[in-house]
Amino acid sequence: MNFGLTDEQKDIQNLANEILGNEVTPDELHQYDMWAKERYNSTLWAQLADAGLLGIAVPADNGGMGFGFAELALFLEECGRVLAPVPAVPSLIAALAVQKFGDAALQAMLGGVATGEVVLTAAFHEEHTYDAFEAQLSAKDGKLHGTKLCVPYANIATRMLVVAKEGNDVALFIVDPKDSSVQLTALKATTYEPQFIVQFNNTPAQKLGGRDAVKFLVDHYTLALCAYQTGALEKMVQMTAQYTSEREQFNVKIATFQAVGHRVANCYMDAKCLKLVTLQAIDRLTSGVDASAEIHAAKIWLGDAAHRTSYATQHLHGGMGVDVTYPIHRFLYWSRALAVALGGTEHHLAALGDWLADNDNLGWKYDLAEDELHATPL
């Protein structure tokens, strides 16, 4: 596998970095603290649409760029780097599922996704589980009944993808969240992201697909979170390296203290390892081969790296680390939230263990082709 970026991918990354870096500042994010204002910048959303970034993975026939998930992940990484106050992950990942499983009428909405006029979201979590495949919200005769938790941007969503139990299995449905049978109750998330409890009362729903559709959405959403967290981790490390290189004790910069240097180095390694395992998982997923083990590994690394790095970087900032007027604390909140979304470390460790038990040919086969080393599980 080759993790080098093409010129087009570099252009996407640089464009996203320029727009988000200019528009999303600590002062911009401060206005959303303590839920003082809804954490949604519609002007930024429109600007990203005008730049074509919301249509990265939307087919050209629908007005998008026509790239794939790998390019979309680069954009989401840049969103994570600044904790962008826009529904990039839920809307653009849900659009991938609509593109793959939706009928012609639903796919016609993809043009609106690219322009930012259509916002999509996805409902996975329930009261007793973060595992979408254990959904208890019921689907029967084209109607949904039950409750989902922590649904992002449900209040502005045009359509909502919902994982529901249908018979003895799970399936993926799409609903209009503004239907009279849908009730939204606002939550106060520690990230300040708009999240809602969504109650469905015999809500009309269109089925997109069965377990395969659910797996498609969950796999892509999980890796989108990993990409987002990669950007956040890299920003935390950058901020900490800068702070420790400027902060002095006894007329000596604290970055020169061995204990400080080691901790920053460990954070750097965590960020780079998350990036690499995420890239590997995306490479396998987009190549059409089983990426189950790599996706679980990426989410495990997200959880562990998020815990270690958010704690260490905040600690290395000393008193500034707990000052809510300084931006590092926001990354801690987001890191902890992303760590448990769609299942935390323990859930994915168990799932990876189950996968390994079912795949008795452990180890890797290495083929050297075209000067690249390809690693493929046997």
Closest by CA to 6, choosing from 69, 71, 66, 55, is: 71
Task: Tell me: pLDDT of 373 over 90.
Answer: no
**Residues 330-351: pLDDT tens digits?**
999 999 999 999 999 999 999 9
Task: Tell me: pLDDT of 166 over 60.
Answer: yes
> Are 171 and 214 a contacting pair, CB within 8 Å?
yes
Q: What is residue 363's predicted lDDT score, i.e. its pLDDT?
A: 52
Mean pLDDT of 50-60: 97
Confidence of residue 366 (pLDDT cuts 50, 70, 90): very low
Task: Tell me: pLDDT of 378 over 80.
Answer: no
Q: What is residue 216's predicted lDDT score, i.e. its pLDDT?
A: 98
**Residues 212-222: pLDDT tens digits?**
999 999 999 99
Q: What is residue 210's predicted lDDT score, i.e. its pLDDT?
A: 97
| Homologous superfamily of domain range 121-209 | Butyryl-CoA Dehydrogenase, subunit A, domain 2 (2.40.110.10)
The pLDDT mean for the chain works out to: 93
Place of tokens 């950007």: 231
Amino acid 336 reads R
Cα 193 from chain centre: 13
Q: What is residue 360's predicted lDDT score, i.e. its pLDDT?
A: 63
Confidence of residue 368 (pLDDT cuts 50, 70, 90): very low
Given this structure, which CATH class describes domain 213-377? mainly alpha
Mean pLDDT of 192-210: 98
Angle (CA) 65 287 121, round 5°: 55
The domain 7-118: what is its CATH number? Answer: 1.10.540.10
Task: Tell me: pLDDT of 370 over 60.
Answer: no
Q: What is residue 232's predicted lDDT score, i.e. its pLDDT?
A: 97
Where along the chain do its domains lie? 7-118, 121-209, 213-377
Mean pLDDT of 35-56: 97
**Residues 285-306: pLDDT tens digits?**
999 999 999 999 999 999 999 9
Taken in order 55, 56, 57, 60, is the CA torsion positive or negative? positive
What distance in Å separates the CA atoms of residue 20 and residue 17, rounded to the nearest whole number? Answer: 5
**Residues 70-120: pLDDT tens digits?**
999 999 999 999 999 999 999 999 999 999 999 999 999 999 999 999 999
